[in-house]
Structure 1
Amino acid sequence: MSESEPNAGGQLRTLAVRITEDLRARLDVVAQITGRSTTEEIRVALEHWVERTKSDPTILKKAAAIRAEIEREAQTRRNAISAIFGAEEPAEPETEPSPPAGRSSTRRGKTPDGE
């Protein structure tokens, strides 16, 4: 992802972050020097931090442990479904299309049944 193409075609989402006045002042100076907005400076900094984090051995170990736990939980659920329905797959219920990945199907203040 280039700095000129934030989120490369993905939907932008808002994140509120509380920072000290001193950090905000330093961030504003950096933005002024680079000619980017303060928001863009935050986005660039976060992108760099995430990239650096991906190669941190401690983080990689934790990610592997989380992945293994997800797989154990998924297998437990598959086993439960098999125990209920046998070897055959249960019929898919007719439902509305699911929301895009990473998005909740509920809106703030609404329950899944729309109330």
Structure 2
Amino acid sequence: MGGHTNTEEEISVTDPNKNGVKTLGIKLPPELHAQFALVAQLDGISLNDAALRAVELYVATKKEEPDFAQRAAAALAEIEKEAAARRGAIEGLFGTNPEQVAEAAKPATSRSRKAGTEG
């Protein structure tokens, strides 16, 4: 597959949680694209539907891998660690009181208007 010119395809994948779509652009070598298009045509489905099925199969296959849940848990732990660090940075700037943080986040112009000092 090295050295082949790639063809870009735009695939829209429906996100059931948001009632919308996300667009995924993929690059395929011409031979694979031709085979993919032929298989989809023989199945009587669009390239979009074929790609959606392929993505669903990929996700289902990955979920069955023995170490996948462990890797997902590690990724979640990293997300939580980063969130805690960011929370700590914000609390360091504005204090640990949630009301203090909310007050500090208000635009300065709205406080000026309330005080009648806007010029």
Q: Which bracket does the TM-score occupy, shorter chain normalised?
A: 0.5 to 0.7
CA distance in 2, matches of 1:76, 1:13: 30
CA distance in 2, matches of 1:19, 1:74: 37
Aligned partner of 1:70 in structure 2 is: 79
- Structure of greater Rg: 2
Aligned length: 90
The Cα shift of 1:79 comes to 2.4
CA distance in 2, matches of 1:87, 1:38: 52
CA distance in 1, matches of 2:93, 2:24: 42
Aligned partner of 2:59 in structure 1 is: 50
The secondary structure found in structure 2 opposite 1:87 is coil
Aligned partner of 1:11 in structure 2 is: 20
TM-score by length of 1: 0.64
Gaps of at least 5 residues in structure 2 are: 1-13, 108-119
Aligned partner of 2:89 in structure 1 is: 80
CA distance in 1, matches of 2:91, 2:15: 40
Kindly indicate whether structure 1 or structure 2 has the higher relative contact order, using CA contacts under 8 Å at least 6 residues apart: 2
The secondary structure found in structure 1 opposite 2:25 is coil
Gaps of at least 5 residues in structure 1 are: 1-5, 96-115
**Which of residues 91, 105, 108 is equivalent to 2:102?**
91
CA distance in 2, matches of 1:7, 1:87: 37
RMSD: 2.2
